[in-house]
Amino acid sequence: MPKRGYHHGDLRRALVDATLRLIEQKGPTGFTVSEAARDAGVTPAAVYRHFQGREDLIAEAARQGYVRFANILEQAYNDGQPTALAAFEATGRAYLEFARDCPGHYIAMFESGISINRNSDLAHAAQRAMGVLERAAEALSQHIPPHKRPPAAMFSAHIWALSHGVVELFARGSPGTKSPYPPEDLLESGIGIYLRGLGLIPPDE
């Protein structure tokens, strides 16, 4: 906990952290303002000094998630180095790592029902994250002969959908489903087959 300023010192951050912890433990439903306040060692009313209300708190958690997500993806992509293909695969792995390491953020972003357009900060952060994926797809698709090249937006949507599906179905301990394979392997092999289908990886290996 950083320096104590007024009374708490950093209540805003403490509340978001508590929110993330609760969302991770109990899902976006289980989260309550009262409990977040309790976790931060503060009266529920204090929350309203920093947030407009419950939804606003979740939205802030999601926003921070998108910022972090974008950073992680961007770092993994590494400007397409050493090769477009390697950078692309690293980005896919980073997606899964984020979902694993920041489940609270991931849930707030994708399962809380918060609209991305709730406020412009949120929308901007989300756009940036999606932009990284699209740029990675765009760069990689330059290696496909133009006449059989799918639109980059479609390419990137496929990868995003596959990644998200793997997270939701197999990476969470979710609804009694036990994963037949480690999620990482599932995603990596899936992306591999997909890229082979695009002719980006030689058919024999």
Partner DNA sequence: TGTACATCAGTGAACGCGCGTTCACTGATGTAC
> Would you say how long the chain is, in residues?
205
| Core vs surface per residue 112-125: b (16+ CB within 10 A) or e | bebebeeeeebeeb
Whole-angstrom distance, CA of residue 137 vs CA of residue 62: 24
Q: Return the DSSP state at 169.
A: I
Please report how close the Cβ of residue 183 comes to a second copy at its closest, in angstroms: 9
The tokens describing 160, both together, are 């995003």
Cα(40)–Cα(1) distance, integer angstroms: 11
Which of a second copy, DNA, none binds 145 (CB below 5-8 Å, type-dependent)?
A: none
**DSSP-derived secondary structure for 53-116:** SHHHHHHHHHHHHHHHHHHHHHHHHGGG-S-HHHHHHHHHHHHHHHHHH-HHHHHHHHTS---T
Among 27, 44, 182, 197, binds DNA (CB under 7 A): 44
Scanning 42-50, 120-128, 143-151, 178-186 for contacts with DNA by CB under 7 A, the matching segment is 42-50
- Asked whether position 197 contacts DNA by CB under 7 A, the answer is no
Coil, helix or strand for 4? coil
Q: Which stretch binds DNA (CB under 7 A): 8-16, 126-134, 152-160, 196-204?
A: 8-16
Nearer to a second copy, 40 or 112 (CB): 112
1 binds DNA (CB under 7 A): no
* Between 21 and 172, CB nearer to a second copy: 172
Interface ranges with a second copy (CB under 8 A): 27-29, 110-111, 113-118, 123, 148, 150, 153-154, 157-158, 160-166, 168-170, 175-177, 179-181, 186, 189-190, 192-199, 203-205
**Binding residues for DNA (CB under 7 A):** 4-9, 11, 31-35, 42-50, 53-55
